[in-house]
Each structure stands twice: as C-alpha cells, then as structure tokens.
Amino acid sequence: MPAEGSLASILARHRRDRTRLIDILREVQAKNGHISPEAAAEIAAGLGLSTVEVEGAATFYHFFSARPAGTYAVYLNDNIVSVMKGRAAVASAFEKAAGCRFGETTPDGRIGLYRTSCIGMNDQEPAALINGVVFTKLTPAKVKLIVEGMNAGMNVRAMIAATGDGANAAKLVRAMVKNNIRKEGPVILASFRSGAAVKKAVKITPEGVIAEVKKANLLGRGGAGFPTGLKWEFCRREKGENHYVVCNADEGEPGTFKDRVILTERPHLLFEGMTVAGYAVGARKGLLYLRGEYAYLAPYLESLLAGLRKKNLLGKRIAGKAGFSFDIEIKLGAGAYVCGEESALLQSAQGERGEPRDRPPFPVQSGFLFQPTTVNNVETLCAAARIIEKGADWFKAMGTPRSAGTKVLSVSGDCKKPGVYEVPFGLTVRRLLEMAGGPDAQAVQIGGPSGACISRGQLERAIAFEDLATGGSIIVIGPGRDLFEVIRNFMEFFVEESCGWCVPCRAGNPLLLRKLEKIMSGKGTPADIIEIESWGRIIKAMSRCGLGQTSPNPILTTIQNFREMYESKVERGRDFLPEFDLAEAVKEASAVTGQVFAASDTEQSHE
Amino acid sequence: MSKPKARISFTVDGKKCSAAPGQTILQAAKDNGIYIPALCRWEGFKPAGACRVCTVRVGGRYMAACTQPVTDGMAVENDVPDLQDMRKALIEMLFVEGNHMCPTCEKSGNCELQALAYRFLMLVPRFPFQFPARRVEPAGKKILLEHNRCIKCLRCVRGVRTRDNKAVFGTLRRSRDKKISVDQVLASALTDKQARQAMDRCPVGSILKKEVGFAVPIGRRKYDKEPIGSDVEKARG
Ligand SMILES: Cc1cc2nc3c(=O)[nH]c(=O)nc-3n(C[C@H](O)[C@H](O)[C@H](O)COP(=O)(O)O)c2cc1C
Ligand code: SF4
Ligand code: SF4
C-alpha cells in the first residue's frame, strides 16, 4: 500500500484514470503547493501519458503552478468592480505588508501574491481567495491583519471574522460570503420541497417530461438561449453506451454570481433539475462542473448529495421508479473562464486542457467521454425542475411571449443594493436600476464583457431574449467613471482568458488591446477608430468559439453607443500619429550623447 | 455491405461541385479543383481548426472549411474579396505575433506561412509588430524548437506520437503565452526519419532537425517555383 498522501496513493485512489487528471492535479497542488517537474513526470508515468501532456494541463489553469505558489497563495480578483471598490489600495497593502510584489512569493516562500479573473463575488468586492478560502470586502486595514495572521502561521479559515448569511454559515461551508438576495422570484429562489419535482416526473414518461419542458418554452439561461426541451430531445434520441447530464456551474463571466447563490441556497432544486434531466434523456450519471473558485461549497454539496441518496432521491430505483438510477458527481475546475464554454468544459471534465472542441459533433451527440450529453446551466436546470413541479402553464404565465419565466440577475458596480434579483423577463433596465439604487448610471454593462454596454438613452430596453439577452451579469457604471478603463479591463480579461488555440482570438485580442490603449493615450486618429472596428469584426467572424466571437464586444458596443467618447479622444483632421513619442523613447540615449530630438521632429512632416 | 450513399451537390462561389457524404468543405473543394487556403491542416491528421485561414461563409455564417462537413445544397463563399481580406489579416496577425525574419530562415521558400503571404500579396502587415521575447530551445537530441517562428498550428502535437501512442509534442500555458514543448525523453528517442518528418511537416521553420538547415539552397525550394495552392488548381485545369 502506498503511503497515505503520497503521489502513488493519490493516483491509486483515482484508479490511474487518465480522465481524472485535473482531479489529481488539484490534489497534488493542494498538498505540495505546486506541481513540480518530478511530480508531473510521476503522474505521467502513472497514467500512461507523456510528461508534456501533464505539464500541458497543469500550465493551462490559473490555480496550478509549476513553482511553489506559497504556503499561503493569495489570488486577488482584478475585475473592474473590484477596481471600482478600491482594489488598488488593497493590492498595495498586500504588497507592503507581505513584502513581495504580485506574481511573486516572499523570499521565505510563505506568501505568494497573484491576480486572478472574476471570482464570482462582485457584490462584495474587493475579494480574494487565499488557499481557496474567500475573503470579501477587503480594505487595507483588513489586509494588514490577514498578513499578520499568515506570518503567525494561522489557519486560513480561522482568519475569517464572521460567516455570511444562510448556508454560508453552515458547518461545512463557514464562508464570509453573503448571499445578498434582494428579490426572490417564484421560479428559482422561492422555497422548494425536496422530491416535489422528481416524484412528479417519474409518474410520467421521459417523453412526457420533455414535452412539458418544451411546452414551457424554457430557453437556456447560460447565455446562448437554446431551447432546453429540444436539447434534451436531441440527447435522448442519440445512441450511445451512456448518456450524461452535465450542469455548467463554471460561472466565469465577470459580474455574474447568481449561480453561486443558487448553489448555496437552492442546491436541492438544482439536484432535482439534474435528476429530472437524467430521467428525460436516459442518463444514469450527472456531473456538476463547479468552478474552482467555488470549491469552498463542495464539501457542503457532497453532504447534501449523500442525504439525497439516503432519501432515495438519488441512486437506484429513484422515488420507487423501476429502472431509474441516477447519481451526481461533483467535478471541480481550476481557474479558466473558457471552461464555461460547454465543449471546453467537457474537455476539462475528462482531464484535458480546457480547449473547446470543433462542432459538429455537438455535445448532445458526443459530449462527456464522447457520449451523448446535455450541458445545462445551473439556473436552467432549476427552472426545469420547477416546471415539472408546477406545470408549463404556470411558468409561461410569467415573462414575455418569447421569453417565458424569470431571470436571476447578478447586479453589481455603482449601485446601493448590489446582489441577486429574480425578475420576470421583460423588465426594463431603468426599472432594474431603480430597484438596485443606481438610477444615475452613465452606462450599464449587460451580460458581462461578452455582452453589450448600453447608454442612458437605452434604459427603456428590456431584459429578454428578444431584446437584451443576458446570462445575468449586470454591471452598473456610475457617473464619473472613466468608461475607457472599464473597456480596457474587459479586453485584458479576454487577452488573458483566451485558450490560445486559434489565431484571431489569441493573436488578435492583444492587438485590439494595444490599439485601444493607443486611442486612450490621446495618440489616436479617426483612422484608428475605423481600424479597431474592422479588426474587431475580423476577430468576431473568424474565431473558433464563443469567447473569441464576443471578445471585441466591449470595444464594438461602446463605439456604437458612445461614439462621441472615442471621437473626443482622437485628433481630428490627422491621418497619422506615431504610437510612441520619439523624444521620450530616446531620452536615455539623448542624455548620454547630448543629441536632442524635439518632439516636433516626428510630427512636423504632416503639418 | 451498406449501399453506397448518393453524392451530394453543393456550390463554391456559384460553381457546381459534388462531394461524398461526410467530407469536409475543404476536402470536397479540393476534389473539385478549388483551393481553399489553409495553414494548420495536414492530410491524414485530425483537423484542428486552429489557424482559421480556411474560413468560408455559408448563409452569412462563418465556418472553418477543414472541420465543417458539406451538406446537400450548401452554397459556400470562398474567393470573395472581404473574406480573402480577413484571411489575409490572419496571416498578418501571425507575422506580427512572432518574429519572422525570412531571409535568415532555414525554411524560407519551403515555408507555408511565407507562401501564403505571397499568395495574398501581403506587403506590410496592417498590425504593429509585437516583437515578443522568445527563445530557441533544444528539444531532445535531434531537434531544435525555434519559438520565434512557431504559429501553433499543432501539427507536431497531433502528428508526432510514439509507437505506444504517447504525444511527443504538447502545448504549455494558454493565451498569447501558449507555447509548444516536448517530452524531452521521448523527443530524444525519435528516429532520424521521425525527426526529419517533424521538420518537414512543420509549416514554418520552427522545428529544425539539427545540422541539415540549408541542405537545399534558397531559390530552389518548393514555393520558390510556384505559388502555394497551384497543385490543387492545376488539377482542375
Ligand atoms: C467563453 C464562454 C463561457 C461560458 N461560460 C458559461 C458559464 O459559466 N455558465 C454557463 O452556464 N454557460 C456558459 N457558457 C455557455 C455554454 O457554452 C452553454 O451554452 C451553456 O452551458 C448551455 O446551457 P443552457 O442551454 O442551459 O444555457 C459560456 C460560453 C462561452 C463561449
Ligand atoms: S476563440 Fe479563443 S477561446 Fe475560443 S478556441 Fe479560439 S483561442 Fe480558444
Ligand atoms: S512547432 Fe511547427 S508544427 Fe509545431 S505548432 Fe509550431 S509551427 Fe506548428
């Protein structure tokens, strides 16, 4: 028997199963604080892979590192709302107190400081993860205490001042996270009695369940809005050894956190939705792909699953239905926005780098382990369970004719009441801003960076698939904010999160960012606006997956809706301005040689 | 024996073509004598859809011709000015993303990136050069990896495998930091023939077999004689 906690025992526990590579890497990272070249080689040998394949997966995800990440690895969120709420001061407080810069560890290897993309806490920023434990509403004073705690060798969990509300305070969670539920709607956030949906589902046929979901006109809540009933029907019809239900709980779009609240407060509704889906498509297994940032919820969710098995709501002969077996496994991610894209998620769930697949074949044909799979968002599955519980007609009575039901929105940014709002489709942005206490917004980002930035003139537009479709991220940008900084933050996000597979997204987004910065610096011309738009269109058209196909949106939608802002930044009547200041660039050389370039040397030829 | 399925008909820029069911747009176009430019594709490897140079338009939607199957009645747009310009932009992106000093390159004249740049009449990229700091690395005993030139087409990752089907090449990191790497042990065990093959399949001068760089002089290499794609187009006559 290999020694407890040794690499050999980790490999044995995962049955040397190559598809469990990410699970194995998570354990090794947690135990050793990094994945050393020696560990990578040993894992490779154990799984029958080449070392470079293991290194490839290990270097793909934010939360794995080849060098020791620090006894305490601090990941500070760098999304725009964190910036709005004082990230800069918090970051420098960390650097000052710890005595190292971001991207480094302290010389003794105790503390490592890193930046990371949105961690799903936009309503309580600035926030950070320290060894997987969430810290919210950070201030320089709190940072000082945290660093003192780390230097004293304290347990990270013991550094939490107080736990949040609801299940955040549960023994297996004990997180300082707050739910901030501002409006409970009837579909998702209303209370739910375990068994209410599954017991009804097994009384009708799987086809009957699909018909009810189709009748309800449920459209996917993950962003793309594909009809859920139809997806289940396609999946059911496909032949395969096994069928799978995968719940997409990657929730990586900056500014969304509603799935986190659902997972915390309505997990039974979600599990029931997955079980109903399993019944409908003929699956015996479901996976909950939970983003690595939400790993703190995993032990709690595991305990609930165990309870459901005891109550015969999971396992064999569920609710007494002969021949219906279904169980749910939790799969954790490790920090990669692109893993929310369904085919990248499937790759990640089967132990690979989170790189999207080519389609066709679609997941319903060839999904998890290349078997027929329905991938659905957390909220979609909850809504499906509720439809079975209460009926399609009840559901369709809410919302608009084309967008039935409600939508759970994550509202953050410059508003008095950030948090989660479950509202009927069709609600205007103006009404939402009133509810959230941000009526004087200069701009509202709908659907996160990949969505659209709208101006005050468009506040009468409605949240609905037929108007402003959104996965639920709403970022309020108040008066006085520099909108360019918001756009830059979003573009940096896409540059960072591109999986790097295809040329337009990998090579094109850095070029867009650079062009944007040229315009922001005041060195742009009207031609730069034309060029950046044209480059953005090329990237959208040519990219392989939804990430690249939407990555230029922060620029394109603001040029469309805030054109005057761009025009005021560029110099009219000029065709060309150099991107850099020659005099500035050669300053050092000038000082040495005594030769002076006047700034006008580079410009006068155009006068 | 299942009965042979009927051929499907489709058009490329209005020209009538036919295909076997299941063929990709790229294969089918080639069989009909129509050249769709592509960079990451290699006959016999699983298509990667990585370079996107083969992107075509069907009913207003963009798709990679190397991965998209032909369907009956499909009307494919290929050689149209706006699409050709977007493809050219991808070639230009690759030139500014790496460091491509053609006159000093072992592959010049045999390089598919260079050949496509000529075919697209690229003069100066519309994008600013990024001049990334990249290195040359030994990859096992037989080859060098010239990262300045790598375009991440993944041919090496897809195609170079050991007898027990382990990948010799792999990718590290992501985004613009993505980088090709090898398993040093497996790469050292490559035969001379395999190393040679890896170099020949690399579309650019990124995989170099040690000691043979300039065996064929510049000027007498493949694309020094005729433009890339000529073979396909000649077949159509
Ligand atoms: C870059 C990218 C990220 C995505 N992230 C998520 C996500 O975090 N959660 C989600 O449910 N869907 C996400 N999606 C959409 C999924 O690909 C997929 O459409 C969705 O999970 C399907 O579920 P639904 O039909 O229930 O909406 C993402 C798509 C892209 C392109
Ligand atoms: S669009 Fe971006 S994220 Fe999607 S496959 Fe291409 S490089 Fe990867
Ligand atoms: S080394 Fe050559 S074959 Fe491999 S990805 Fe780079 S360019 Fe392609």
Give the CATH number, domain containing residue A150: 3.40.30.10
Number of domains in chain A: 5
Residue A296, domain member (yes or no)? yes
- Strand ranges for chain B from DSSP E: 8-12, 15-19, 55-58, 61-64, 75-77, 136-139, 143-146, 169-172, 179-182, 207-209
> What are the residues facing B143 on neighbouring strands?
B139, B209
Q: Is the pLDDT of residue A360 over 80?
A: yes
Residues in B touching A103 (Cβ below 8 Å): none
Note whether B86 contacts A542, CB cutoff 8 Å. Answer: yes
pLDDT of amino acid A75: 98
pLDDT of amino acid B6: 85
**Same-domain pairing of A421 and A464:** yes
> A502 CB less than 6 Å from ligand 2?
yes
A422, A406 Cβ separation under 8 angstroms: yes
pLDDT of amino acid B1: 43
d(CA A547, CA B179): 20
Note whether A502 contacts B181, CB cutoff 8 Å. Answer: no
pLDDT of amino acid A584: 78
**Same-domain pairing of B182 and B106:** yes
What confidence category does residue A415 fall into, taking pLDDT thresholds of 50, 70 and 90?
very high
What confidence category does residue A607 fall into, taking pLDDT thresholds of 50, 70 and 90?
very low
Phi-psi region of A189 (alpha: psi -120 to 50; beta: other; left: phi over 0): alpha
To test ligand 3's pocket by mutation, which of B107, B160, B206 has the most ligand atoms within 8 angstroms of CB? B206
Residue B221, domain member (yes or no)? no
The pTM for the full model equals 0.95
**Same-domain pairing of B150 and B200:** yes
> A429 CB less than 6 Å from ligand 1?
no
Note whether A358 contacts B47, CB cutoff 8 Å. Answer: yes
To test ligand 1's pocket by mutation, which of A341, A368, A509 has the most ligand atoms within 8 angstroms of CB? A341
Residue B2, domain member (yes or no)? no
**Same-domain pairing of B73 and B155:** no
The values of phi and psi at residue A161, to 5°, are: -70, -50
What number does the ligand 3 atom closest to the CA of B157 have?
4
**Same-domain pairing of B59 and B124:** no
Residues in B touching A502 (Cβ below 8 Å): 49-52
**Same-domain pairing of A18 and A37:** yes
Residues in B touching A503 (Cβ below 8 Å): 50-53, 90, 93-94, 97, 151-152
What confidence category does residue B217 fall into, taking pLDDT thresholds of 50, 70 and 90?
confident
**Same-domain pairing of A467 and A550:** no
Residues in B touching A579 (Cβ below 8 Å): 128
Q: If DSSP codes are grouped into helix, strand and coil, which group holds residue A404?
A: strand
Higher pLDDT, A2 or A79: A79
What confidence category does residue A1 fall into, taking pLDDT thresholds of 50, 70 and 90?
low
What number does the ligand 2 atom closest to the CA of A545 have?
4
Please name the residues in contact with B12: beta carbons below 8 A apart, sequence gap of 6 or more.
B29, B32, B34, B76, B77, B78
d(CA A329, CA A324): 17
Q: By alpha-carbon position, which residue is closest to atom 10 of ligand 1?
A: A222
- Strand ranges for A404-562 from DSSP E: 406-413, 419-424, 443-446, 452-455, 473-477
What confidence category does residue A603 fall into, taking pLDDT thresholds of 50, 70 and 90?
very low
**Same-domain pairing of B136 and B197:** yes
pLDDT of amino acid A604: 42
The CATH number given to whatever domain includes residue A430 is 3.10.20.600
**Same-domain pairing of A78 and A45:** no
pLDDT of amino acid B52: 98
The CATH number given to whatever domain includes residue A391 is 3.40.50.11540
Residue B100, domain member (yes or no)? yes
The CATH number given to whatever domain includes residue B161 is 3.30.70.20
> Which residue of B62, B167, B177 is in closest CB contact with A542?
B62
Residue B147, domain member (yes or no)? yes
**Same-domain pairing of B203 and B146:** yes
Share of chain A above pLDDT 90, in %: 93
Residue B235, domain member (yes or no)? no
**Same-domain pairing of B150 and B133:** yes
Residue A543 Cα, ligand 2 centroid: separation in angstroms?
A: 6
The CATH number given to whatever domain includes residue A535 is 1.20.1440.230
Distance from CA of A551 to the nearest CA of B (A): 13
Is A50's Cβ below 8 Å from some Cβ in B? yes
**Same-domain pairing of A240 and A348:** yes
Residue B201, domain member (yes or no)? yes
- Which of A161, A194, A225 finishes a domain? A161
**Same-domain pairing of A108 and A209:** no
- Which of B57, B79, B101 finishes a domain? B79
- Which of A421, A455, A477 finishes a domain? A477
Residues A212-232, mean pLDDT to the nearest whole number: 96
CA-based nearest residue to A384, from A183, A230, A520, A579 = A230
> Which residue of A53, A497, A498 is in closest CB contact with B170?
A53
Mean pLDDT (chain B) is 93
Residue A145, domain member (yes or no)? yes
pLDDT of amino acid A597: 62
> Which residue of A353, A510, A542 is in closest CB contact with B52?
A542
Mean pLDDT (chain A) is 95
> Which residue of B96, B128, B167 is in closest CB contact with A52?
B167
pLDDT of amino acid A5: 77
d(CA B85, CA B79): 10
d(CA B109, CA A496): 35
- Containing B93, the helix (H) or strand (E) segment is helix B81-97
Q: Is the pLDDT of residue A583 over 80?
A: no
Note whether B178 contacts A500, CB cutoff 8 Å. Answer: yes
pLDDT of amino acid B237: 60
Distance (Å) of CA A290 to CA A192, A260, A421: 22, 10, 22
**Could you tell me the residue range of the domain that residue B71 belongs to?**
8-40+48-79
**Same-domain pairing of A349 and A270:** yes
> What are the residues facing A462 on neighbouring strands?
A428
> A226 CB less than 6 Å from ligand 1?
yes
**Same-domain pairing of B66 and B163:** no
**Same-domain pairing of B198 and B166:** yes
Residues A385-389, mean pLDDT to the nearest whole number: 98
**Same-domain pairing of A563 and A488:** yes
d(CA A43, CA A51): 8
Residue B58, domain member (yes or no)? yes
pLDDT of amino acid A601: 46
**Same-domain pairing of A193 and A142:** no
Torsion of CA A446, A449, A455, A460, to 10 degrees: -10
What confidence category does residue A598 fall into, taking pLDDT thresholds of 50, 70 and 90?
low
Distance from CA of A338 to the nearest CA of B (A): 11
pLDDT of amino acid B4: 56
pLDDT of amino acid B47: 96
**Same-domain pairing of A343 and A444:** no
Residue A362 Cα, ligand 1 centroid: separation in angstroms?
A: 14
Number of domains in chain B: 2
> B154 CB less than 6 Å from ligand 3?
yes
**Could you tell me the residue range of the domain that residue A155 belongs to?**
72-161
**Same-domain pairing of B94 and B190:** yes
Residue B225, domain member (yes or no)? no
Q: Is the pLDDT of residue B128 over 80?
A: yes
Q: Is the pLDDT of residue A214 over 90?
A: yes
A323, A287 Cβ separation under 8 angstroms: no
For B22-78, the pLDDT digits (tens) are: 999 999 999 999 999 999 999 999 999 999 999 999 999 999 999 999 999 999 999
Residue A191, domain member (yes or no)? yes
Residue A102, domain member (yes or no)? yes
Residue A172, domain member (yes or no)? no
Residue A508, domain member (yes or no)? yes
**Same-domain pairing of B36 and B152:** no
Residues A330-339, mean pLDDT to the nearest whole number: 98
Alpha helices in A14-118 (DSSP H): 21-32, 37-47, 51-58, 80-84, 87-98
Residue A578, domain member (yes or no)? no
Residue A417, domain member (yes or no)? yes
**Same-domain pairing of A488 and A559:** yes
**Same-domain pairing of B203 and B115:** yes
Q: Is the pLDDT of residue A46 over 70?
A: yes
- Looking from the CA of A404 toward its CB, the CA atoms found within 13 Å total 23
For A290-327, the pLDDT digits (tens) are: 999 999 999 999 999 999 999 999 999 999 999 999 99
